[in-house]
């Protein structure tokens, strides 16, 4: 790739959600600089899977940032940035769609200035930001012993389709939870986590006493509705 780039003698290089780190020799082939579009409000959520991590941590906004590329990933001067809101039930797909629109607007605004050489960049203060690595399917494991209702809800919406999903393993097989709604996350004393059927709803009690409605779940890839849950687990199932 390096030989090919040198033969092209590019003025500029742009990277959009490219997962690999470009080497310094590659960056040096562009006479007027290299720019990367990152899916967060840098310097926050530098690194991999920024939208997913923002949801896991319950952020209420994220965005898109266009920045100069340097040796260190997601660390160059910022030339454009736009925030987008994260609503309480937004999934990673929902937020990514918003970030894509923001990225397009940021690029449309910054590109003429980059081409004309009039762009004004600002330093990125890495000390005030954060960095996260890539996520693996096993990171979707729900820890019922430590995670409250809101934390579980945030994990579910961070890793739902098209990602592998939030899950738990039972003697009857793996339950994957694809969508939840928080019914109660007000402070309570500690509680025994459990799944239960209540009326026409499948619910979960978290260790903080918070309550989730499980809107969509599967057991070993098959729909886990109220009828199926009752046949397999009874009216309730205590969680470890």
**pLDDT tens readout for residues 63-82:** 999 999 999 999 999 999 99
CB atoms within 10 A of CB 161: 12
pLDDT at residue 158, as a whole number: 99
Q: How far is CA 184 from CA 147, 150, 167, 212, 225, in A?
A: 14, 9, 21, 7, 21
For the record, the structure tokens of 70 come out as: 């340097």
Structural domains of the chain sorted by starting position, each given as residue range(s) with its CATH number in brackets: 1-132 (3.40.50.170), 137-238 (3.10.25.10)
Q: What percent of the chain has pLDDT over 90?
A: 91
For the record, the structure tokens of 206 come out as: 């978290």
Q: What percent of the chain has pLDDT over 70?
A: 100
Average pLDDT, the chain: 96
**pLDDT tens readout for residues 106-162:** 999 999 999 999 999 999 999 999 999 999 999 999 999 999 999 999 999 999 999
pLDDT at residue 105, as a whole number: 99
Q: Which residues contact 20 (CB under 8 A, 6 or more apart)?
A: none
Closest CA to 16 of 106, 95, 135, 112: 106
Res 188 pLDDT > 80 = no
pLDDT at residue 160, as a whole number: 99
Inter-helix orientation angle 149-159/92-116, to 10°: 60
The segment with the largest mean pLDDT, out of 22-36, 53-67, 224-238, is: 53-67
CA dist., res. 160 & res. 227, Å (int)? 23
């Amino acid at each position: 790739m390096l030989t090919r780039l040198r033969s092209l003698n590019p003025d500029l290089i742009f990277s959009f959600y490219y997962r690999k780190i470009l080497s310094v020799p590659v960056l040096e082939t562009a006479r007027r600089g290299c720019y990367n579009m990152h899916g967060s409000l840098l310097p926050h959520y530098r690194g991999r899977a920024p939208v997913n991590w923002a949801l896991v941590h319950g952020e209420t906004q994220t965005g898109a940032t266009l920045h100069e590329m340097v040796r260190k990933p997601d660390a160059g001067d910022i030339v454009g940035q736009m925030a987008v809101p994260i609503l309480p039930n937004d999934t990673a797909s929902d937020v990514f769609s918003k970030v894509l629109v923001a990225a397009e607007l940021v690029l449309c605004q910054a590109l003429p200035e980059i081409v004309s050489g009039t762009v004004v960049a600002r330093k990125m203060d890495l000390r005030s930001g954060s960095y996260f690595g890539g996520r693996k399917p096993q990171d979707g494991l729900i820890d019922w012993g430590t995670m409250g209702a809101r934390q579980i809800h945030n994990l579910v919406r961070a890793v739902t389709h098209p990602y592998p999903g939030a899950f738990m393993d039972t003697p009857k097989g793996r339950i994957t939870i694809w969508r939840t709604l928080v019914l109660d996350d007000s402070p309570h004393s500690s509680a025994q986590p459990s799944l239960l059927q209540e009326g026409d709803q499948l619910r979960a009690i978290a260790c903080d006493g918070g309550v989730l409605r499980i809107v969509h779940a599967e057991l070993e890839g098959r729909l886990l509705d109220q009828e199926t849950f009752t046949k397999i687990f009874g009216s309730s199932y205590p969680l470890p």
